[in-house]
Amino acid sequence: MKLMFFKRLSALFLASALTGMMPPALRAQPVIWPIQNFDGNSCGLTALSGVTLTYDQTQDNTGDGGGSCHISTDYSQGGLFQFTANNVACCFSFVNARLQLSNYTSVDFDVKWDNSSTVPLAFFNTNAGFAPGIAIALNTGGANAPVISTVIIPDAATNGWTHVSASIDQAVGNEVFPGLNFQKLFPAYGPSSTAAFWLDNLELLGPTNHPVLSPSSRGSNFTVYFPAIQFATYSVLKSADLVHWTSLVTNYPPGGAMTNMTLSYTDTNAGGCQAYYRIRSP
């Protein structure tokens, strides 16, 4: 059994299994909550004055026909760089869910520096007297949003797409939040100066989740396990070729998940052939 994550799928994960046989090994996979993959636009992202967000279909880290968000900041005067990724408002967030910080260990994204920027990346990172890096804070709506991590855009981003994984400070506590703020104070660089980069595949990663085959997986039954968000419902789909999908159940579990938990669903007509299972919400 394999668990794989795909940018273009509206699923939390895709699992393939050869029923009737127990595999020799199972790979641990991270729990992922995609905030924005920029498959069609930059919905869910907003910015302060002086920061411009533009959906760019020509720049995409996965090459799957999607796009990314181009983020440009006016550095002619000093100010506050800030944009917000709102999980609730984003049309690619299929569940209108508020998230619990304790479920996640890092904020991950792909970044590519725009070399047409007149502000050097080193200046953008160091802030010349201000706190270095970009602070990631919870968008809780309060005046003092708790900072959960700080990131520096790697130098390698000037040569192309680079993956960034920012560890979450667990001392912040089990906050409930609808989105993330990316923010930093910066000084003026000079007249008509800008700093810009592309952002793609913004997501939260949690502890590894070990997929488990049900003891009853032999024969005609096969059970898939997947992480669920409180109050959310899910659909389980099945395919033999990754092209044609059959819905096995919708609005599962009835009434939504009781808490943030691991759910399971058993396909009682799995048979003995290879099948692929996709979980999505709703």
Place of tokens 């999980």: 87
Reported as a single tens digit per residue, the pLDDT across 236-282 is: 888 877 778 888 999 888 888 776 666 788 888 876 667 777 787 76
Rounded mean pLDDT of the chain? 78
Tell me which fold the domain 34-208 belongs to: Jelly Rolls (2.60.120)
In the block, tokens 């590519």 appear at 112
CA distance 179 to 139: 5
Longest dimension (CA), the chain: 71
pTM assigned to the model: 0.66
Long-range (24+ apart) CB contacts under 8 A made by 122-125 are 123/189, 123/195, 124/153, 124/186, 124/195, 125/152, 125/153
Percent of the chain with pLDDT over 70: 76
Q: What Å distances lie between residue 31 and 93, 105, 224, 239, CA to CA?
A: 15, 10, 15, 22
Give the 3-state secondary structure of residue 141: coil
pLDDT tens for 158-184 read 999 999 999 999 888 878 888 899 999
95: pLDDT strictly greater than 80: no
Predicted confidence at residue 21, as pLDDT, reads 35
Give the residue extent of every domain in the chain. 2-28+211-280, 34-208
Write down the pLDDT at residue 185. Answer: 93
